Amino acid sequence: MDKAQQDALKKAAGIEAAKLIEPGMIAGLGTGSTVRFFVDELGRRVQEEGLTFTGVTTSVRTKEQAEGYGITIVDVDDVDHIDVTVDGADEVDKDFNGIKGGGAALLWEKIVATNSSKIVWIVDESKVVDTIGAFPLPVEVIPFGAGHVVKLFESKGYKPVLRLDADGQAVRTDEKNYVVDLHLERIEHPEELAQDLITTVGVVEHGLFLNMVNTVIVGDPNGPRILTNSNK
């Protein structure tokens, strides 16, 4: 699949997900290239159909995009609930275990997701996998002592790589933390790994989102496909 085809599938999933946002809702807006299409469609609905809703964003990038369309964005602590959050994902398996954080927004994404009544992911079909882990697992780490966390991960065989930007500088999240990507290839026991990561001093959050999502909208050449998580 070339990039144009992949973008077409992402866009189709984004447009489908935008139908879920109803007037008066509080909606979580995720981060990434697929979510960009979703927010573009919401912006169109706001401007052409007069849709009004309140958004809570998972990154500064998405906030800026949404506000550019005149969408009202408030802080996550200024709402008492979030009706639905639509976000992207880097991988998802048949048990609805996923990896997120390719765009370094995993911490805010997990906070918004945790406080949402319903979570919807929008992905192109390449993200649906048998076993997660081919996509490097992002882990958000506090800069102080990050070198020791990386060494610990190395000793555990997690194959950590500090994420760098195009200038060779450590990528900083919206919370100014680092991202360490674990090149695990296959994650056979995601629950155990999640427990190990979250109890490592210096780790703020990891990109394993295990059985959190309710619905996955998959951009498919035959039209968007809906996967429903019956264990939620």
Ligand X SMILES: O=C(CO)[C@H](O)[C@H](O)COP(=O)(O)O
Task: Give yes or no for residue 98 binding ligand X (CB under 6 A).
Answer: no
- Least distance in Å: CB of 101 to ligand X? 5
Q: Does 45 bind ligand X (CB under 6 A)?
A: no
Does 104 sit near ligand X (CB under 6 A)? yes
Instruction: Concatenate the DSSP letters of all residues of 8-54 into one string.
Output: HHHHHHHHHHHTT--TT-EEEE--SHHHHHHHHHHHHHHHHH----E
Is residue 14 involved in binding ligand X (CB under 6 A)?
no
Selected from 9, 15, 18, 30, the binder of ligand X by CB under 6 A is 30
Q: Assess 34 for contact with ligand X (CB under 6 A).
A: yes
Among 7, 33, 196, 210, binds ligand X (CB under 6 A): 33
Task: Report residue 89 as tokens.
Answer: 């994902």
The reply to whether 32 sits near ligand X by the rule CB under 6 A is yes
**Alpha-carbon distance 41 to 16, whole Å?**
9
The answer to whether 109 and 29 have CB atoms below 8 angstroms apart is no
Q: Which of 41, 90, 91, 205 binds ligand X (CB under 6 A)?
A: 90
Query: Does 214 contact ligand X by CB under 6 A?
Result: no
User: What Å distances lie between residue 109 and 19, 59, 87, 167, CA to CA?
Assistant: 21, 8, 8, 26
Q: Amino acid letter at 86?
A: V
| Whether residue 109 lies in the annotated active site | yes
> Between 30 and 55, whose beta carbon lies closer to ligand X?
30
Of 134 and 152, the one with the shorter C-beta distance to ligand X is: 134
SS3 percent helix, strand, coil of the chain, rounded to 5, is: 35, 25, 40
Binding residues for substrate: 31-34, 87-90, 100-103, 127
Closest separation in Å from C-beta 134 to ligand X: 14
d(Cα 97, Cα 229) in Å, to the nearest integer?
10
Structure tokens at 193: 């790994």
Of 41, 91, 109, 205, the catalytic one is: 109
Q: Are 35 and 43 in contact (CB under 8 A)?
A: no
Structure tokens at 40: 């573009």
- For CA atoms 142, 146, 148, 153, the dihedral sign is positive
The interface region with ligand X, picked from 20-28, 29-37, 176-184, 217-225 by CB under 6 A, is: 29-37
**Is residue 173 a contact point for ligand X (CB under 6 A)?**
no
* Residue choice 11, 63, 100, 110 for contact with ligand X (CB under 6 A): 100
Rounded least distance, CB 195 to ligand X, Å: 21
- Residues carrying an active site annotation: 109
Residue ranges binding ligand X (CB under 6 A) = 30-34, 87-90, 100-106, 109
